[in-house]
Amino acid sequence: MTDKHIPKAHGHRARKRFGQNFLHDTHVIDKIVRAINPKHSDALVEIGPGMGALTEPLLDACGKLDVVELDRDLIPILRTKFFNYPEFTIHEGDALKFDFNTILKPGQQLRIVGNLPYNISTPLIFHFLAHHTIVQDMHFMLQKEVVDRLAAGPGTSDYGRLGIMAQYYCKVEPLFIVSPGSFNPPPKVDSAIVRLSPYNDLPFPAKDVKTLQRVVREAFSMRRKTLRNTLKNLISADQLEALGIDNGLRPERLSLQDYVRIADAVYDLQQQSSDEDNNGEAS
């Protein structure tokens, strides 16, 4: 890749409130594009294109691209830079509120890429997971510690709500680390590229995903306490034992499959309680 992919300054300074760190290292950009391997038939979406460092090689490979950008001062820069790409579409707004169904064409799934702002990366990932049925894959630049949490397994300090819910929906593949010097301004921490590929068939489908989300959230609300304490408002210690789960364990010791089993039991208990209430009212 030549120097044309290094974004010009255009007088725009990265804004702390948007969590902006602009990628400028052409070797890293090349590596990311190779990992994505965009095709002309892809429905590609870039979140937060910034100065367009990744946008240009993606457009060169794909021919068409939708981007979602919150910083309105960057939009005229992007329009000017990519005016000769007729299928380059800018959606001005917050990716957290953006309805990705609006850019989906029949028979397609989205491929989402982005250098996600560190300050809102976790809520953004949960927003994208909610769209998992229309997504083929996602390639994100994130703070390395967030990638570690996404990929963590049971029994590790990084394991928690983010990793469990990401792994419920997706295969998680950390790809490579990116040093602070690849950005302007350089962040204070390492970054990493991760690939999230939603499953066509969930490995451990829950009866009710909202119940699963609640169980996991409650379990990790006080991660140093045992399950019998953190989940006592949802399920009793005896009921946990009846599921074959040691209620004296801390939340990071359980697998995704264990959490689905607990969530299904909680859901059944709630349904049973609701039925009893309805029967009581009827009589």
Q: CB neighbours (10 Å) of residue 103? A: 16
| pLDDT tens-digit map of 55-91 | 999 999 998 999 999 989 999 999 999 999 999 999 9
Residue 37, number of CB atoms within 10 A of its CB = 10
Residue 33 has pLDDT above 80, yes or no: yes
Token couple for 226:
């045992």
Same domain, 168 and 123: yes
248/134 same-domain check = no
How distant, in Å, are the alpha carbons of 8, 20, 85 from that of 140? 23, 14, 24
Considering the domain architecture, whether residues 187 and 256 belong to the same structural domain is answered as no
Alpha-carbon distances of 48 from 56, 68, 133, 149, 266, rounded to whole Å? 13, 6, 22, 22, 39
Residues 261 and 161 occupy one common structural domain? no
Query: Which residues form the domain of 238?
Result: 209-282
Q: Does residue 157 contact residue 1 with C-beta atoms inside 8 Å? A: no
| Domain at 218, CATH number | 1.10.8.100
204 falls within a domain: no
How many Cα atoms sit within 13 Å of 162 on the Cβ side? 19
Residue 64 CA to residue 44 CA, distance in Å, equals: 7
Average pLDDT taken over every residue of the chain = 89
Spatial distance between the Cα atoms of 273 and 128, rounded to a whole number of angstroms:
33
Task: Give 283's pLDDT tier (boundaries 50, 70, 90).
Answer: low
Residue 180 and residue 217 share a domain: no
- Beta partners for residue 198, in sequence order: 170
Q: What is the pLDDT of residue 282?
A: 57
Strands (E), 7-102: 22-23, 43-47, 65-69, 88-92
pLDDT at position 274, please?
Answer: 79
Rg of the chain, C-alpha, whole Å: 22
- Give the lowest-confidence range in 96-100, 163-167, 231-235: 96-100
Q: How far apart are CA 139 and CA 145, in angstroms?
A: 16
On whether residue 161 sits in a domain, the answer given is: yes
The last residue of one of the domains, among 167, 198, 229, is: 198
pLDDT at 278 over 50: yes
* Domain termination site, one of 172, 198, 224: 198
Task: Flag whether 122 is in a domain.
Answer: yes
Q: Is the pLDDT of residue 100 over 60?
A: yes
Name which of 196, 216, 39, 44 is nearest 127 in CA terms: 196
- Do residues 80 and 11 touch, judged by C-beta distance below 8 A? no
What the block records as the tokens of 264 is 């299904």
Q: What is the pLDDT of residue 15?
A: 43
Does one domain contain both 165 and 221?
Answer: no
166 with 49, same domain: the answer is yes
pLDDT of 10 higher than 50: no
Residue whose pair of structure tokens reads 């809102």 in the numeric block: 120
Question: What's the confidence (pLDDT) of residue 144?
Answer: 95
The predicted pLDDT at position 185 comes to 80
E-strand ranges in the chain read 22-23, 43-47, 65-69, 88-92, 110-115, 135-143, 170-178, 183-184, 191-198
Cα–Cα distance for residue pair 132/17, rounded to 1 Å = 28
- Ranking 16-25, 196-205, 222-231 by mean pLDDT, the lowest is 16-25
Dist. CA 113–CA 235, nearest whole Å: 39
Q: Is the pLDDT of residue 18 over 80?
A: no
- Rounded average pLDDT over 205-214: 97
- Residues 103-137 have pLDDT tens digits of 998 889 999 999 888 788 999 999 999 999 999 99
Q: How many domains does the chain have?
A: 2
- From 165, 198, 231, give the residue that closes a domain: 198
CB 79 within 8 A of CB 89: no
Q: What is the DSSP letter of 207?
A: S
| Mean pLDDT within 30-59 | 93
pLDDT beyond 90 at 152:
yes
**105's tokens:** 């064409």
Per the CB < 8 A criterion, the answer to whether 177 and 25 are in contact is no
What's residue 25's pLDDT? 87
Looking at the fold, whether 139 and 272 belong to one and the same domain comes out as no
